[in-house]
Homo-oligomer: A and B are copies of this chain.
Amino acid sequence: MSAPIYNRVALIGLGLIAGSMAHAMRAGNLAGEIVGTARSAETRAIAAEIGLVDRVTDTAAKAVQGADLVVLAVPVGAMGPVMEEIAPHLAPGATLTDVGSVKQAVIEAVAPHVPDGVHFVPSHPLAGTEYSGPRSGFATLFRNRWWILVPNGADAAATDRLAGLFRAMGANVDEMEADHHDLVLAVTSHTPHLIAYTMVGVADDLRRVTDSEVIKYSAAGFRDFTRIAASDPTMWRDVFLTNREATLEILGRFTEELFALQRAIRTGDGAHLHEYFTHTRAIRRGIIEAGQDTEAPDFGRSALSQGKDTAS
């Protein structure tokens, strides 16, 4: 086993991403010591109880002391305040990163507070499940997923070292500009989430179809939406508030397309519908070929009964 990449890693926030990083860094001996903290006393207590990290501190300021890598793993809206708290306590030469789903807003909130000599390399792992909290992490969450770096002019050596950590946890690393990241994610993640939340809300609100019917007959289609719509509410609130422009742009395109399909249904234009649905099949094929999913059918029927260990 090779030497650790960082001597001391401070995880600010102990949810799904930070927890999975802790598991992955331990599995690969990637950090000499892992220190963690969270705003919630309950989260800190659980993390200490299950030994998620080597040491739990009660403040972020304490957590970052002497750390050569600091990871901001809190909801996007909390990044700025947390940064203000830790800024005076960061070690000279330390690398600072975040794992937020939005990059422009995080950079605007964090960068002004970064002290000279500290290397801020924003990042975003495209990985997650619908679970959250200190018990939800697992070591293989990042395996074969993309981890996007937004160096934004950061020191090349610090950026390379951080990329090495992410690769050692199993991720593929890519670089992107902040504004392009936010647009790509608005398409591939943020707008789909908003749509899924909306559809689940509509189903619940409909008086003539009971909740129990919706739940009972959810096999085809709706079930996948509820999975998406079960994700952490605070995280997603902050995503939409901070990636507002891109999300609203994609939503506008979406409703435009939806109205065209709606009109085709109303007028009975079967040719338009068939052509549209045929086209979307090809995109799915591309995703399978890109290795981001398997061909195994798991839509519309029971998923395997599996624990996290076997699933991951």
Confirm or deny: A85 has a beta carbon within 8 angstroms of a beta carbon on chain B: no
A188-B221, A258-B195 known; A226-B303 Cβ under 8 A: no
Confirm or deny: A90 has a beta carbon within 8 angstroms of a beta carbon on chain B: no
Among the stretches A22-30, A105-113, A138-146, the one at the interface with B is A138-146
Are B204 and A283 within 8 A (Cβ)? yes
Are B262 and A248 within 8 A (Cβ)? yes
Quick one: closest B residue to A234, CB to CB? B274
Q: Oligomeric state, in number of copies?
A: 2
Are A188 and B283 within 8 A (Cβ)? no
Are B284 and A229 within 8 A (Cβ)? yes
Our pick among B221, B262, B300 for the contact of A196 (Cβ within 8 Å) is B221
Are B219 and A203 within 8 A (Cβ)? no
A206-B187, A254-B202 known; A219-B126 Cβ under 8 A: yes
The 4 residue pairs across chains A and B that have the minimum distance between CB atoms: A129-B297, A233-B277, A192-B221, A230-B284
A-B contact pairs, 5 of them (CB 8 A): A129-B299, A140-B301, A184-B209, A196-B221, A298-B303
10 new A-B contacts at CB < 8 Å, known A188-B219, A223-B293: A129-B300, A184-B214, A185-B217, A188-B213, A189-B217, A195-B195, A197-B261, A223-B292, A248-B265, A296-B308
